[in-house]
Amino acid sequence: MATVQVSEAEKVYILHGVRDDLRVDGRGCEDYRHMEIETDMVSNTDGSAKVTLGHTDVLVGVKAEMGKPRPMVPDEGYLEFFVDCSANATPEFEGRGGDELGMELSNTLYKVFNNRYSVDLKSLCISPGDHCWVLYVDVLLLQCDGNLFDAISVAIKAALFNTKIPKVHISEDEEGGKEIELSDDPYDCMRLNVENVPCIVTLCKVGHRHVVDATLQEKACSVASLIISVTHKGTVTCVRKVGGGSLDPESIFEMTETGKRVGKALHAPLMELLQEEESLGKKRQKVGFLG
């Protein structure tokens, strides 16, 4: 993971700032950096979004492909995650350098998103036991400047919101033979309900307090962080502790409460933004990668 070296004096400076709710870049402890979202970036995916958070830059593409449902849950589709840590993001990822981080990220994403409470997996089913949609969520890290989880989760939510799955229907003949028919109209497609899709809020314990959306410097001062996925209602669906240091139960409780609050506040403007962008339709000026 991309790290920076921080001197003792810098550390003290950061710690003191956090204690007084005034961070190095002027934010309060529960404030996010400036965030930019654009959807429908990549035309050959079924849904895509790019999120810029500070200097962290993440691109997510969703591809819907037909597959066989898992035997235990024959009436549900599923999601697959793959995180590509390109060497563009940081030289550390060169060669196989990013694989470990990629695995870790995709495992976490799998836990957070691939369940029936987050995404309506039943709607991905085409014919129980035979065919279902598999959503391949590909995450590409373009630039790392801390707080990957939050950026990725927002991008995934936006990409899922943007995903258009072609409508198919199963025609059945007398003998029970099934034939999948594809609608002729490219506009005739299914949208996912992303209402319950959680966002991840990462809280970093810095000194005695914790901060949201830590920069790399802040991260360097932190011993442990808590990854919390929160739905729009404020329900915590997943909590995971990362980092070498320990957290006492009290601060875990505090951090969870903060996470719930911050997460809830994150969802409402995000959805608003996505809907606004959608309503612009084709008139929207695309920014793309060079904007």
- Positions that interact with other proteins (CB under 8 A): 43-46, 63-66, 166, 168, 171, 173, 175, 177, 179-182, 184-187
Q: Indicate the residue among 91 and 186 with the shorter CB distance to other proteins.
A: 186
- Residue closer to other proteins by CB (options 2, 168) is 168
Give the shortest CB-139-to-other proteins separation in angstroms: 19
* Shortest Å, Cβ 174 to other proteins: 8
Smaller CB distance to other proteins: residue 41 or 89?
A: 41
Q: How many residues does the chain have?
A: 291
Distances from the Cα of 99 to the Cα of 84, 104, 105, 237, 243, angstroms: 8, 9, 10, 26, 18
Shortest Cβ distance from residue 282 to other proteins (Å)? Answer: 8
Nearest distance, CB of residue 32 and other proteins, angstroms: 33
Select 11 or 191, whichever has its Cβ closest to other proteins: 191
Taking the C-alpha atoms of residue 52 and residue 226, their distance in angstroms, rounded to an integer, is 22
Nearer to other proteins, 245 or 288 (CB): 288
CB of 10 to other proteins, least distance (A): 48
Pairing between strand 168-172 and 178-182? antiparallel
Contacts of residue 99, defined as CB under 8 A and 6 or more positions apart, other chains included, come to 85
Residue among 46 and 213 whose Cβ is closer to other proteins: 46
In whole angstroms, the minimum distance from the beta carbon of 177 to other proteins comes to: 5
- Contact (CB, 8 A) for 148 and 53: no
With residue 278 as reference, give the H or E element that holds it.
Answer: helix 249-280
Tell me the closest approach of the beta carbon of residue 214 to other proteins, in angstroms.
38
Given the complex with other proteins, which of 5 and 44 has the nearer CB atom? Answer: 44
What does the DSSP 8-state code read for residue 1?
Answer: -
Q: Phi, psi (5° rounding) for residue 193?
A: -85, 115
Rounded Cα–Cα distance for residues 218 and 216 (Å): 5
Task: For residue 28, give every residue at least 6 positions away whose Cβ sits within 8 Å of its Cβ, in sequence order, or none.
Answer: 21, 22
CA nearest 142: which of 55, 43, 216, 270? 55
